[in-house]
Amino acid sequence: MSETRLSQAIHTLKESGVRITPQRHAVLEYLVNSMTHPTADEIYKALEGKFPNMSVATVYNNLRVLREIGLVRELPYGDSSSRFDCNTTEHYHIICNSCGKIVDFHYPTLDEVESLAEQVTGFDISHHRMEIYGRCENCQDVPAAKH
């Protein structure tokens, strides 16, 4: 499945006229195979052994290009570092309060909420996002730290 997603993403890159550098390919491949919604720093650390001359700025620039052509979604969640998601289909996220793990949650989109919000407020609604918070299974197995 991830090979198919990767080849589709490469095809989109080619159609967009974006040059496919080895670093860009590696960032995209890492994202396609990652289920963890990594930060740019995590991507950099995962790839620095393969590309010792690559900088964090290169990773950020590649993520920006991939985001601009619609292959990657940036997830700015409260903390200082955005996370990146290669799954650009409509879906929601569940976030662990303890370890920060983010898991995709597929549910029919809440378009009726946007429509109601538009009617009630007069806003021209562009989009919405829903986040669900809790403790993942791994963190549930660890007793909560005492304060």
pLDDT tens across 58-89, in order? 999 999 999 999 999 998 876 667 889 988 88
- Closest Cα to residue 75, out of 46, 47, 44, 39? 39
- pTM tops 0.85, yes or no: no
What is the location of CATH 3.30.1490.190 in the chain?
92-140
The CA-based dihedral angle spanning residues 82, 85, 90, 92, taken in that order and rounded to the nearest 10 degrees: -60
Three-class SS state of 75: strand
pLDDT, tens digit, 9 for 90 and up, residues 6-63: 888 888 888 888 888 999 999 999 999 888 899 999 999 999 999 999 999 999 999 9
CATH number (3.30.1490.190, 3.40.50.2300, 3.40.50.150, 3.30.590.10) of 92-140 reads: 3.30.1490.190
d(CA 112, CA 110): 5
Which architecture characterizes domain 2-85 according to CATH? Orthogonal Bundle (1.10)
